[in-house]
Amino acid sequence: MSTGEPFVRWDWIGDHLGAIADRVGQSLQLAAIAVVLGFVISFALATIAIRRRRLYAPIVVAATVAYTIPSFALFAALVSITGLTTVTAEVPLVLYTLVLLVPNIVAGFDSVPPEVLDAANGMGFSRAQRWRRVELPLAVPLIVAGVRLATVSTIGLVTVSAIIGNSFGGLGYYILDGYHRGFSTEILVGGSLSIVLAVAADVAFVALQRVLTPWARARAAVR
């Protein structure tokens, strides 16, 4: 960091508002794609694990092992396979969501009380009706909790994908570029906006949770 330079150069921020907005958009896009794909894959894996309990432990172990691979190393290694593409950015991001999503989805369906299932069966729900009208709605609180965790964690991880190249990384581009150039303003913009995004996503999911599950809130309002 050169001497005489102020810690934050507001004029630079003012000159780059458009580019910063683009990077915010890219962060959100990379995170959203990862969470959506991760959710689809996790839902499939969780469904398999619920049907065949023996497979639950191996699936979670595999997801955990994937999670332990350092993100920096994984992005770097993938460049040699899938090149400088969005695929390279998304594969690790998707992979890291699994360990957060699969256990929460399984726990969500496990949380449906057995007497509720007994009543549903006895009243003549078909399997599909029971799943859609009883099991899925009751699993929602834990599923949303998992998606919330995965989203916050992915928004943080998106910044690491900046190492693939300038056209990736979202706000992470500024962190990496600022580091290379010894320019603290850029690091600060990238870092703080990432935190703001993560917190905003967290709040949005809490709100979504409340809208989706009015019945869970009613418990607090017992006469």
- Footprint on this chain of another protein (rule: CB under 8 A): 113, 115-126, 129, 134, 137-138, 213-215, 218-219, 221-223
Q: Which is nearer to another protein, 60 or 208 (CB)?
A: 208
**Cβ atoms of residues 186 and 175 within 8 Å:** yes
User: φ, ψ for residue 85 (rounded to 5)?
Assistant: -125, 170
Determine contact, residues 102/46, Cβ cutoff 8 Å.
yes
Comparison of 52 and 217: residue with beta carbon closer to another protein: 217
Name the DSSP class of 133: I
Question: Taking the complex as a whole, how short is the minimal distance between the CB of residue 220 and another protein, in angstroms?
Answer: 9
Q: Which is nearer to another protein, 81 or 222 (CB)?
A: 222
Q: How far is the CB of 215 from another protein (least distance, A)?
A: 5
Shortest CB 42 distance to another protein, Å: 22
> Contact at 8 Å (CB) between 179 and 160?
no
CB of 145 to another protein, least distance (A): 16
Q: Which two tokens stand for residue 164?
A: 């693939």
The torsion defined by the Cα of 19, 24, 29 and 34, in degrees rounded to 10, comes to: 130
Nearest to 99 by CA among 172, 157, 168, 51: 157
Minimum distance, C-beta of residue 130 to another protein, in the bound complex (Å): 10
Q: Residue 121 or 166: which CB sits closer to another protein?
A: 121
CA 154 – CA 85 distance, rounded (Å): 18
Closer residue to another protein in complex, CB, 137/182: 137
